[in-house]
Structure 1
Amino acid sequence: MHADLILHSGTVLSVDPAFSTSSAVAVRGDRIVAVGDDRDVRDLAGPGTRTVDLAGGTVLPGLNDSHLHLQWWGLARSQVDLSAAGSLDEARELVRRHAAAQPEGAWVRGRGWHERVLAGDDPLGPTAAMFDDVCGGRPMVLEHFSAHGALLNTLGLHQAGITSATAAPPGGEVVHDPATGEPTGVLKEAALQLLDGVLPTPTATQRQAAVVDAIGELNRRGITSVTDPIVTPEMLRDYVTLRREGRLSARLTTLLHWTWPSVQTPIAVLEEAMRYVGSTTGLGDDLLRIGGCKLIADGVAALGTAWMSAPYHHEGTCGSLVTEGADDAERVAALHALVRLLHRHRFQVQVHATGDRACDTAVEALVAALTDDPWPDARHVLIHANLPSAASVEAMARHGILANVNALVKWQAAAGLVGVITEEQWHRMMPARSMADAGVVVCDASDAPITDPDWRLALQMLVTRVPRGGDGPCGPAERLTREQAIRAWTANPAWQDHAETDKGTVEPGKVADLCVLAEDLMSVPDEDLHAVTPVMTVLGGRVVHEG
């Protein structure tokens, strides 16, 4: 039988175990049917075959953003983005312009701010008053770049009913001015749930349209698979609707979650969910499936909420786990209980952990569950994996625990952590090479909307470790090879998805999920990887982007 599509005269990166290359690939239906040299593959052409001359470009597996908050990113694209603001004045001007375009009385929504940009070294940090005069009499909430905090203006605090007497929920903090006792406007971690019922909620139609638009943009970037790491029941219903209506143009793996916006998952809530959820890892089909569940161990270093073994330089505290408990021992026991429960119900467990103590504790909990109740194919995941000890890395490799890191977050946030953590930690943070060399399967992902989901810049950061504004590498010993970096966005996420037999490589029999670049990806200088050009994206043999 003839092929439907042939791509030839380029470099086809199979990303198979040998990282073999060829010059052509043929597709029939939704599958790859041949990979080889131009002559052999072009022999499969028939009257109805579309033949594309790559002209020296590259074919690689469709990119897999294995930690991207899809619906959140879709909705955030209509908000003001402060991630590129270099000063408070720039941030205020961006907010002013955005606010002026909103209806009277509407909330001004935004995201992406950094403490150092807004407040410099002021120990009080950002305050509500910084934006009061640029919002045009409108309430405002700006999400922290990490999504683990928010800044409200004075009217926003008023509408949320947050005062000097407001107590934070367990696992959260309402920041108060120590001189006056009044709230500064900053909410951290579980305190974000104080905004429940306060902020307007988009309709199902609006949410679903935002998802479709977001996937279309991902297709334009060469992305064909996504893992959404926090999927609430409402979000899952939206995704099922889109799947049923044939509106998904990317493969979507979901991690179930029941308590967001609280970062704390009480054991009683999870026990109740397990009684009724009626599924395990793997339920679904090739476009929409349940991958597992997400737990959150701690916060983020930028807010002083990651659990560290030594105090932060700027706060004098160590952060903590955000699980239930009155002290560290109780919180550690709670994390173990949550992991054990999900593992027993055969859910892949993915644990957010950023501080060194949180990383080691999360690994200990995962190893304990795997030891007490062996499940060889669990493929549990340490999310972020910023500062695991050498012993934890060895344990991860021995027990098949993956690391899902975020080069784009390091690229974006590294400068803001100078002086917050030690210099050694600053360089070692995200030890991708140490983990890969130890035998840990390392995936990299954008964590959008925390960053813009640009896998090209992520590859550049993985191989150079030069952050935004930096004049040299941050932890040069942790640079990946180009091959390792490409695997972190293709074959390794397919392994995380338990889908390595279907996707992640360009091999006969695999689904025809392909990204075509105008350039030879293996010849582009490291510092230019961010500028390579996706010209075609194929999902299951169907062209979903071209141009």
Structure 2
Amino acid sequence: MTDATLVLTNATVLTQVDGAPPEQAVAVHGDRVIAVGTTGDVLAASGPGSTVVDLAGATLTPGWVDAHTHVVQGALMSLGVDFSRCECLDDVRRALHEATPVDGWIRGFGLNHNVFDGSAITFDVIFEAFAVPVLIRLYDAHSALANRAALERAGVSGREDLGQGVARVVLDAQGNPTGHLLEEAAIHLVESVAPTQDRAAAKSLLRGVTEDMASVGLTGTHVMDDLPGSVEMIRVLDEDPSGLRFWVYGWMQPDHSDDRIGELAGLVHGGGGRRWQYAGAKLFMDGTIDGGTAWLCHPDIHGESIRPAWRDPERYVDVVRRLSARGVSTATHAIGDAAVHHCVRTLSELSDGVRHRIEHLETVCPEDLALMGSAGIAASMQPTHCTRYTSADETDDWSRRLGRERVDRGWPVAELGGLGVPVALGSDWPVAHFDPRIVMADARLRRPADQRADSPRQPRQAISAQQALDGYTSHAAAAAGLSDGAGTIVVGGPADFTAVDGDLFGPADEVPDLPIIVTVVGGSVVYQR
């Protein structure tokens, strides 16, 4: 046997292979596992050049993979003012007063819809006059708030044809823009005239973000970015031997030409680097419930969320069929029940053996849950969107908009898992924090793990510790269509591991505080406590 380059010993090794008991140690040569077994047996594979790490009883699992992030967009947004801790409009005003303009603008991110307490989202309720142009992304990243100075700089009137079914500039009763911009096409009207953000600073931030991701046990992430320069920034990270793995999903937007289908197929079958690859195509079926741009079977309380992102939903059907026929997996953003319904019906009719997935699924019709299970469609879900942005008393904007019946169908993680659907878990960072320990704990509790006095949201959708771990390992791999042992610890499989000091199957409230001991990517230690 070839000598191991890395040996991890004296651990509780959870291989994530069905029915397999825990092992004690793992040996690696290069980026592949060459032995799994007792510490004594695995040490026999070591030699004078082997690096041996004694895990002293820690739990070792397959590497944790976040199934949905926006690493480049998050890094760019992080160059602005963080409004995520603002709990009321006074907090927002204070943050704006303290902000220092950059190139004459104030840019921000993370503003919670709930600070408006159910009232219309307008900049004037914060400040009627603010001389410096301001553009703030709301937490959902599908909407933004601009002040009058920014709107005037961009010449926004609200009469622009944005070319998409749900994007719009919100107008008041007099027909004037309120500053609330819904979806990317509307946000771009203002963003296109704002100063270009510092790419060098963003690259530095991105490197810092990935280091932070490794420190909380992440070995990789499914990247849902397709901003200009995104792949170039990931290529820079790929040169770093201590980097993560990235699965990149190129966008297919409703206004893209048919040529984009062939382009994406070429990228998926030929694009990638040492630790990154194009994994498929990202499509959008709707927007968000909070923004009123989701696609619901019945309108929300404001009469909104009644249209899909595709003006012709049948074109979505045609695009997905053509992508699938070329061997391209798709990941479709679908939040509302009508959007999920359309996607499930479309994907269930495909028969070419390509894995497809749906992102978010915040409210779903019961019949579509069962069809997902029988059709082999994967789900990619973010439990902390439920636990961190809705409240148990349903006074939050998401719950108010939907109403009791649809709230009860919110984020059906457990139900999907019970039907055999691979449920990959993630954060949608920067929408929510990327720490998998927080996501796994919240998914088990259906409330914030750090708020023990809080009540759960839809408690019947709570999942087990094993299901939570599956969501970051074997199910994340399944959602990406990987089949080389990814998401498990097996001989010949990838050498991606996360070691945590403590019991992942213990009380959920304690999981976020379990220390990460070692993170290994491709056989290299990228983090060690």
Give TM-score scaled by structure 1 length.
0.88
Equivalent residue number for residue 234 of structure 2: 239
Contact 1:129 1:154 in 2 (8 A): no
Q: Counterparts of 2:70 and 2:147 in 1: how far apart (Å)?
A: 26
Equivalent residue number for residue 332 of structure 1: 313
> After superposition, what is the alpha-carbon deviation per residue over 1:251-289, rounded to whole angstroms, capped at 9, x for unaligned?
111111155xxxxx22xx240213445616453355121
> After superposition, what is the alpha-carbon deviation per residue over 1:385-414, rounded to whole angstroms, capped at 9, x for unaligned?
222323222222222210001112112222
TM-fit CA distance, 1:168? 5.1
> After superposition, what is the alpha-carbon deviation per residue over 1:51-90, rounded to whole angstroms, capped at 9, x for unaligned?
3332322111111111111111222223222223211122
Contact 1:414 1:426 in 2 (8 A): no
Contact 2:500 2:518 in 1 (8 A): yes
2:438 maps to which of 452, 457, 461? 457
TM-fit CA distance, 1:153? 1.7
TM-fit CA distance, 1:176? 1.6
Contact 2:151 2:190 in 1 (8 A): no
Q: Counterparts of 1:46 and 1:55 in 2: how far apart (Å)?
A: 21
Is residue 309 of structure 2 the alignment partner of residue 322 of structure 1?
A: yes
Letter in 1 for 2:108: G
Letter in 2 for 1:88: L
Structure 1 residues 233 and 273, CA gap change in structure 2 (3 angstroms): farther
Equivalent residue number for residue 327 of structure 1: none
1:487 maps to which of 445, 454, 470? 470
Equivalent residue number for residue 442 of structure 1: 423
Q: Counterparts of 2:483 and 2:442 in 1: how far apart (Å)?
A: 25
Contact 2:386 2:457 in 1 (8 A): no
Equivalent residue number for residue 405 of structure 1: 381
1:306 maps to which of 282, 294, 298? 294
Equivalent residue number for residue 157 of structure 1: 151
Q: Counterparts of 2:104 and 2:488 in 1: how far apart (Å)?
A: 47
Q: 1:365 aligns to what SS in structure 2?
A: helix
Moved more, 489-498 or 436-445: 489-498
Equivalent residue number for residue 359 of structure 2: 383
Q: Counterparts of 2:269 and 2:215 in 1: how far apart (Å)?
A: 28
Q: Counterparts of 2:269 and 2:480 in 1: how far apart (Å)?
A: 9
Correspondence list, 1:81-230, <5 A: 81-97=82-98, 99-100=99-100, 102-103=101-102, 105-117=103-115, 119-122=116-119, 124-128=120-124, 130-131=126-127, 137-163=131-157, 169-171=163-165, 172-178=167-173, 180-189=174-183, 190-202=185-197, 205-230=200-225
Q: Counterparts of 2:247 and 2:168 in 1: how far apart (Å)?
A: 32
Letter in 1 for 2:114: R
Equivalent residue number for residue 531 of structure 1: 513
Structure 1 residues 436 and 286, CA gap change in structure 2 (3 angstroms): farther
Q: 1:83 aligns to what SS in structure 2?
A: coil
TM-fit CA distance, 1:129? 5.2
Structure 1 residues 258 and 497, CA gap change in structure 2 (3 angstroms): closer
Equivalent residue number for residue 433 of structure 1: 414
Contact 2:79 2:202 in 1 (8 A): no
Contact 2:363 2:407 in 1 (8 A): no
Q: Counterparts of 2:257 and 2:224 in 1: how far apart (Å)?
A: 16
Moved more, 108-117 or 386-395: 386-395
Contact 1:232 1:257 in 2 (8 A): no
Equivalent residue number for residue 80 of structure 1: 81
Q: Counterparts of 2:48 and 2:112 in 1: how far apart (Å)?
A: 57
Q: Counterparts of 1:65 and 1:290 in 2: how far apart (Å)?
A: 16
Q: Counterparts of 1:336 and 1:164 in 2: how far apart (Å)?
A: 30
Q: Counterparts of 2:141 and 2:84 in 1: how far apart (Å)?
A: 12
Letter in 1 for 2:413: A
Is residue 500 of structure 2 the alignment partner of residue 517 of structure 1?
A: yes
Contact 2:235 2:273 in 1 (8 A): no
Q: Counterparts of 1:392 and 1:418 in 2: how far apart (Å)?
A: 21
Q: Counterparts of 1:182 and 1:63 in 2: how far apart (Å)?
A: 47
Is residue 450 of structure 2 the alignment partner of residue 466 of structure 1?
A: no
> After superposition, what is the alpha-carbon deviation per residue over 1:128-178, rounded to whole angstroms, capped at 9, x for unaligned?
451466x6x421111111111000122212212123655655331211221
Letter in 2 for 1:476: P
Letter in 1 for 2:194: L
Equivalent residue number for residue 53 of structure 1: 54
2:331 maps to which of 339, 342, 350? 350
TM-fit CA distance, 1:473? 1.6
Moved more, 506-515 or 468-477: 468-477
Contact 1:298 1:358 in 2 (8 A): yes
Moved more, 61-70 or 11-20: 11-20
Q: 2:400 aligns to what SS in structure 1?
A: coil
Q: 1:302 aligns to what SS in structure 2?
A: coil
Moved more, 299-308 or 460-469: 460-469
> After superposition, what is the alpha-carbon deviation per residue over 1:196-228, rounded to whole angstroms, capped at 9, x for unaligned?
521223465444434323222211111111111
TM-fit CA distance, 1:48? 3.5
Q: Counterparts of 1:419 and 1:196 in 2: how far apart (Å)?
A: 30
> After superposition, what is the alpha-carbon deviation per residue over 1:314-366, rounded to whole angstroms, capped at 9, x for unaligned?
x1334310112xxxxxx332322222232233211111111111110111122
Q: Counterparts of 1:274 and 1:43 in 2: how far apart (Å)?
A: 51
Q: Counterparts of 1:400 and 1:282 in 2: how far apart (Å)?
A: 22
Superposed CA RMSD in Å reads 2.4
Give TM-score scaled by structure 2 length.
0.91
Q: Counterparts of 1:289 and 1:165 in 2: how far apart (Å)?
A: 40
Q: Which residues of structure 1 form unaligned runs of 5+? A: 260-264, 325-330
Letter in 2 for 1:339: V
> After superposition, what is the alpha-carbon deviation per residue over 1:419-453, rounded to whole angstroms, capped at 9, x for unaligned?
22122322321111111111111101111111111
Letter in 2 for 1:303: G
Contact 2:252 2:281 in 1 (8 A): no
TM-fit CA distance, 1:233? 5.8
Correspondence list, 1:489-504, <5 A: 489-504=472-487
Contact 2:387 2:457 in 1 (8 A): no
Structure 1 residues 249 and 242, CA gap change in structure 2 (3 angstroms): closer
Equivalent residue number for residue 394 of structure 1: 370
Percent of matched pairs sharing the same residue: 27
